[in-house]
Every structure is written in structure tokens, then in C-alpha cells.
Amino acid sequence: MLFDNHKFTSYYATLRFLYGIKRAGETPVTQFLRERAIAAYRIVDDHLRQTPFLVSARPTIADLSLVGYVYMPEDTGMPQEEFPHIAEWKDSIRNLPGWRHPYDLMPGPTSL
């Protein structure tokens, strides 16, 4: 989970915000963030080549910690096709009983 916080989600989430939500375009900052995110994705993808989930043959809290942002639909310019094991892992988690997309779990608009 520390790897998630410091290497995986931290760079990817910031890249997603700047490039995909704020639409800042390609800048030296987004390029830096993408390169760091790609490096972290390569580590995870290589690890998932050997096991269906991060720690064992079944999902653990480590999977739930790491997986959240990989479902976000905003463009990040990440070469998703380079990470086939992450794609399989996402499908495995999506197929767990009771799974819901992160956006479906967020509260909707409220009226005052």
C-alpha cells in the first residue's frame, strides 16, 4: 500500500487531474508525471504476470488500495495497451461479487 501511495496512485492521480480533467495539455509537468506513472505501471504489470492479484491468488486490501484510479475514464495519455496484465487484473476485480465503479460509489448531487 505504500508503493501505491508513493509511486502508483500519486503520479497517476495528479496526471489524471491535470491532463484529463483540467485539460492543461502536454507540459513538462504532465510529461514528468506520465513517465513516473508508466514506470510504476511497468512494475505492477510485471508483478501481475506471475499472480492474478497483487499478493496472492485472491484479492486483498492491497488490490483495493491500488486499483481505484485505474478505472477512471479520463484520458491521461498513458499507453494502456502496454499493460495487459493490469487490464486482466482490472477485469478480475470488476468481476468480484458486489463490485461497483468508483464513480457509482460517490455521493450524487444534493439539494439544500
* CATH code, domain with 71: 1.20.1050.10
Is residue 104 situated within a structural domain? no
DSSP 18: I
Is residue 107 situated within a structural domain? no
* pLDDT average, residue stretch 71-90: 92
User: Per the structure, how many domains does the chain have?
Assistant: 1
Decide if pLDDT at 27 tops 90: yes
- Rounded Cα distance, 34 and 82, in Å: 13
pLDDT score for 112: 44
- Report the candidate in 34, 40, 30 with the shortest Cα–Cα distance to residue 7: 40
Give how far Cα 10 sits from Cα of 5, 51, 56, 77, 98, Å. 6, 24, 24, 16, 27
- Rounded Cα distance, 16 and 7, in Å: 14
Structural domain harbouring 20: 2-97
Collapsing DSSP to helix, strand or coil, 53 comes out as coil
Percent over 70 (pLDDT), the chain: 96
Collapsing DSSP to helix, strand or coil, 76 comes out as coil
**pTM for this entry:** 0.86
Angle at 79 between CA 74 and CA 80, to 5 degrees: 70
Is residue 9 situated within a structural domain? yes
